[in-house]
Amino acid sequence: KGGINGKKIKVIYEDDENKPATATNAMQKLINNEGVVAIVGPTTSGCATAAGPIATSSKIPAISGTATSEPVTTKGGEYVFRGCF
């Protein structure tokens, strides 16, 4: 039937163009305008480091599957994760 535990999942995406400023704008849009409950991304360390604090301040978990830089998680806060290792 699809979904998780009976709830449908809708994927909403934004292109950060590999630019930290665009990534922060995209993160704010997804959280404030789209009402997302979780974020997969950003993909690069620079964008994830820039946008991570927005996820934490909004208490929205964000996980980057490819960001490798330690500051992604140390500066991003308790709601930001790296899944690359």
Quick one: which H or E segment has residue 74? helix 71-74
Reported as a pLDDT band with limits 50, 70 and 90, residue 5 is: confident
Residue-wise pLDDT for 55-81, tens only, equals 999 999 999 999 999 999 999 999 999
Query: Please, are residues 84 and 67 in contact by the beta-carbon 8 Å criterion?
Result: yes
Handedness of CA 30, 34, 37, 40 (dihedral sign): negative
What does pLDDT average to over the chain? 94
DSSP structural state of residue 82: E
Residue 54 token pair: 């927005």
DSSP structural state of residue 66: S
Q: What is the dihedral of CA 28, 29, 33, 39, to 10 degrees?
A: -80
pLDDT on residue 8: 87
